[in-house]
Amino acid sequence: MKCIVIYGTLSGSTMTAATVLSESLKNAGHEVSLVMADPSTKDQIKDVQSVVFASPSWEDNGVDGQPLPEVRQVIESMTAENFTGKKVAICGLGDVSYPHFCGAVDVLEGLLKDRGVTPIVESLKIDRYYSSADNEQKVKTWTAALASILSQS
């Protein structure tokens, strides 16, 4: 299946997790593009069957637990029709010491729901990516489940 992993990153953690995710999907036999979110990303979604969004959570305009603006803007620029027939998933990084742990995931799920889209797997929420050696394996395990569902489509 042709997939795109769209991510935003501040410190590089989400980029690292998105890279692991992308490589794991490739190893499972999927054709994957890994792209940083920007205004033109919307145009790249039309040619794929699966979309994975990845964002850290951060404070935006005084509100904690928000996705990066560029990831949010990609989804906000799309309509329900843009997602027709596409399998969607979400991966988020955060820190449990903040009030809204991985709140970006919840916001992105809400934006997708507004467009009639439900992720095909439970969204992945990762605490302090670089703080635990287990986190890379968590991404790989989650991606294996995602890849399996995509292979059945």
pLDDT > 90? residue 75: yes
The predicted structure's pLDDT at residue 42: 87
State percent of the chain over pLDDT 90: 92
Q: What is the dihedral of CA 148, 5, 138, 8, to 10 degrees?
A: -160
pLDDT > 90? residue 133: no
Specify whether the CB–CB gap between 93 and 56 falls below 8 A.
Answer: yes
State percent of the chain over pLDDT 70: 100
Query: Across-strand partners of 126?
Result: 93
Domains and CATH numbers, the chain: 2-142 (3.40.50.360)
Q: What mean pLDDT is reported for the chain?
A: 95
pTM above 0.85, yes or no: yes
Both structure tokens of 93: 């990084």
pLDDT > 80? residue 153: no
